[in-house]
Structure 1
Amino acid sequence: MDTDSKQTHVHAVFESIAPKYDMMNDILSFRRHKAWRRFTMRKMEVKPGQSSLDLCCGTCDWTIALAKASGNGRTVGLDFSRNMLDIGQAKIDKLGLGDQITIVHGNAMELPFPDNSFDFVTIGFGLRNVPDIIKTLKEMKRVVKPGGKIVCLELSKPDWQPFKGIYYFYFEKLLPLMGKWFVKRFEQYRWLPESLESFPDLQALAELFRDVGMRNVKAYPLTGGVAALHIGTKGNDVL
């Protein structure tokens, strides 16, 4: 699938599953995605007043968590799916965080922000869906401040048996069926295992972080390697 085709396909997938996205995340991950995000937030150590940009923010759960952690820090959520953003905006309004959080309809590969703008740039369960991973990581690095961090929380590839075999059976065979049963979306949820096939594993993604110039790169496997957290720091001498 070429870049334009992937972008069009992924956009259509997320536009269509937006209304049931949060519910299906809970079901398909057995609610582990919330524990993974809490672990990530502990590792990030967001300080009061620090700014964050959350890419592929979807329905804005991580965006909201970043805003709350920073107290009054500027927080921006960006996504290319208008339907997902509409659900996220409703959450933000309900929590009274509209003055702190700004939602942007945009492209993670072409960020509409100046260089060195944020203390943190995050992407949660979205990097495997972008057409160009390197371009996205370079954009994340560009807009994060020197000394700031780029953070990726994403599905990964377990490598030990028998867990690996059980996981791939669930992910490739059962998960799309669950999408069909619960929300009548078989083809859309078949995209999830397809999107992971060519995605870098734990160590390969860490190397991509280093390739784009991030320093002190750390990678953490989560739940037996089902997911992974990557954190890299932008050097203070990098403009």
Structure 2
Amino acid sequence: MTRSPKNTDVQALFNKIAPEYDKMNNIISFGTHKLWRQKVMARMTFPNGADIIDVATGTADWALALAEKSDETAHVTGLDFSEEMLAIGQDKVDISDYSEKITLVQGDAMALPFDDAAFDIVTIGFGLRNLPDPVTGLKEMYRVLKPGGQLVILETSQPDNPIVKPLWQLYFGKIMPVFGKVFAKGKYTEYKYLDETTEHFMDYMTLGQVLLKTGFKKVTISRFNLGAAAVHYATK
């Protein structure tokens, strides 16, 4: 059983919210999560025949976007520990134009079931904060990345603007859990937990420092929506 530091069984949580996950992502982010991914990928380099892994792939949205962006000889692996999320993702992959390019795998982000230096690109979107030990997860991503390969982390963050921050806290702390209750069949507790992981996750500068300590190089950071999300780019 994979538990968070708050002793929450996160695998069971994501299995429970899987049926409404895509709908809730659109509602909570007002659809901007798709735009964020497009902006992130516009700055990425995709070598020919790239081996790519999307860690904590969920319902495979980013895996599908990576398959679309990369060339026809590339291959995308999507890994997640929630079988219910992967089942929904597999349905989406099967009806896409990229079913031959994408393999979905159930596994633990903190013990990736792959050889050292297996991938040219490692991505993780809105998943790092849900790992019981994000640093262990980053070490695993470093291990499976090829020398010179790219790591890209897209994650919720905390605005530091004194005007914006209280509004952000109100939205994530009070409004978002109510959305879970109204639009996700009463799942107030689950979305309250997701708010707490956002609120207590390391800030974007601390994450950048952790990446450097882990061994990554050329760490650059961009922020979206007045600091509500941040993307970290790094190389091995």
Q: Provide the TM-score with structure 1 as the length reference.
A: 0.94
C-alpha RMSD over aligned residues: 1.5
| Alpha-carbon distance in structure 2 between the residues aligned to 1:129 and 1:51 | 25
- 1:89 Cα deviation after fit: 0.4
2:113 is aligned to 112
1:149 is aligned to 150
**SS, match of residue 11 in structure 1:** helix
| Alpha-carbon distance in structure 2 between the residues aligned to 1:64 and 1:136 | 22
2:32 is aligned to 32
- 1:48 Cα deviation after fit: 3.5
Partners of 2:79 and 2:107 within 8 A in 1:
yes
The count of corresponding residues between Structure 1 and Structure 2 is: 233
Letter in 1 for 2:76: T
Going from structure 1 to structure 2, the CA distance change for 1:162 and 1:222 (only over 3 Å counts) comes to same
Partners of 1:55 and 1:108 within 8 A in 2:
yes
1:95 is aligned to 96
- 1:8 Cα deviation after fit: 5.3
Partners of 1:48 and 1:69 within 8 A in 2:
no
1:212 is aligned to 214
Partners of 1:109 and 1:135 within 8 A in 2:
yes
Going from structure 1 to structure 2, the CA distance change for 1:229 and 1:143 (only over 3 Å counts) comes to same
| Alpha-carbon distance in structure 1 between the residues aligned to 2:79 and 2:35 | 23
Within 5 Å, give how 1:170-185 maps onto structure 2.
170-183=171-184, 184-185=186-187
Within 5 Å, give how 1:10-21 maps onto structure 2.
10-21=10-21
**SS, match of residue 95 in structure 1:** coil
Instruction: Identify unmatched segments of 5+ residues in structure 1.
Output: 235-239
| Alpha-carbon distance in structure 1 between the residues aligned to 2:70 and 2:4 | 36
**SS, match of residue 95 in structure 2:** helix
CA offsets, 1:41-66, max 9 Å, x none?
A: 01113234212100000000100111
Going from structure 1 to structure 2, the CA distance change for 1:104 and 1:8 (only over 3 Å counts) comes to farther
Q: Provide the TM-score with structure 2 as the length reference.
A: 0.95
- 1:150 Cα deviation after fit: 1.0
- 1:97 Cα deviation after fit: 2.4
Letter in 2 for 1:99: E
Percent of aligned positions that are identical: 45
Instruction: Identify unmatched segments of 5+ residues in structure 2.
Output: none
**SS, match of residue 99 in structure 2:** coil
- 1:214 Cα deviation after fit: 0.3
2:160 is aligned to 159
1:190 is aligned to 192
CA offsets, 1:44-93, max 9 Å, x none?
A: 13234212100000000100111121123011000000000000000110
Of 218, 221, 232, 2:234 maps to: 232
1:67 is aligned to 67
